[in-house]
Structure 1
Amino acid sequence: MMEWVAVATLLILVLALALTGVRLVLGPSLADRVVALELIALIAVAIMVVYAIQVGRPAFMDVALVLALTAFMATVGFARFLERGGKTDE
Structure 2
Amino acid sequence: MTVVAWLVGILFAFAALASVWRIVRGPSILDRMIASDMLLTTLICVLAADMVFGHHTRTLPVIIVLALTAVFGSITVARYVSRQDPS
If the TM-score is normalised by the length of the shorter chain, which range does it land in?
Answer: 0.7 to 0.9
Contact 1:24 1:37 in 2 (8 A): yes
Structure 1 length as normaliser, TM-score?
Answer: 0.85
Aligned residues: 87
Looking at structure 1, the residues matched to 58 and 13 of structure 2 have their Cα atoms a distance apart, in angstroms, of 22
The answer to which structure, 1 or 2, has the higher relative contact order (CA under 8 A, 6+ apart) is 1
The one-letter code sitting in structure 1 at the alignment partner of 2:73 is: A
Any gaps of 5 or more consecutive residues in structure 2?
A: none
**Shift in Å, 1:7:** 2.6
The share of aligned pairs that are identical, in percent, is 25
Query: What does residue 42 of structure 2 align with?
Result: 43
The one-letter code sitting in structure 1 at the alignment partner of 2:51 is: A
The correspondence of residues 1-90 of structure 1 with structure 2, limited to 5 A, is 1=1, 3-85=2-84
Any gaps of 5 or more consecutive residues in structure 1?
A: none
Structure 2 length as normaliser, TM-score?
Answer: 0.87
